[in-house]
Chains A and B, each alone.
Chain A
């Protein structure tokens, strides 16, 4: 059973970059599609983006992002450590949220969720 654990700072200053890591256990990051989402009381659940491998290559994962965040977000992977990462630049208070990493099926449903990481943007 795949398990996910997010980690990273709980507080980020405005205009800085939010960086989170997701450690994957019980499965290889090569074998699934992976996604990041966030949740706020105001906007609810929001899809941030995803990363996946096509074919047998480790070198060119594909990514796709929510158009509303695309200019600020990067999702990447570290196959040697079986980890995923999220970077969101130029954060504002509106980026305050619980951030989740998750395994998403090829068909687009969230199969496994991490426990979530609350990030507050404040000076």
Chain B
């Protein structure tokens, strides 16, 4: 099973700042990685797929990069609604799919 490790566990920033979240895979997953956002009491929402493609309706301030084992989700300028938990997910040779443990983005 491919293990995804996200860092940091918690990121404290202010609105307007830039957020950089990391996801590392235990083996090469190519570009087969997605990012999801989850707000309290809600299901996750797809933000980025294939490492760098934004899902429909996702604002341009969200961007993804990376390939192989190291991936990054960047939020260029944080809006108040962006404070949430973010998960990465790999689909390399799925099934199965696996998720990282999440990064909590909180208001500083």
Majority DSSP secondary structure for residues of B touching A: loop
B91, A108: Cβ atoms closer than 8 Å: yes
A50-95, CB < 8 A from B: 50, 64, 66-67
Q: Chain B interface residue count: which class? A: 20 to 34
A45, B91: Cβ atoms closer than 8 Å: no
B85-105, CB < 8 A from A: 87, 89, 91, 94-102
In Å, the complex CA distance between A54 and B102 comes to 34
- With beta carbons under 8 angstroms apart, the residue of A47, A107, A109 that contacts B96 is A47
List the interface of chain B (C-beta within 8 A of A): 32, 34, 36, 42-46, 49-50, 87, 89, 91, 94-102
List the interface of chain A (C-beta within 8 A of B): 44-47, 49-50, 64, 66-67, 100, 102, 104, 107-111, 113-116
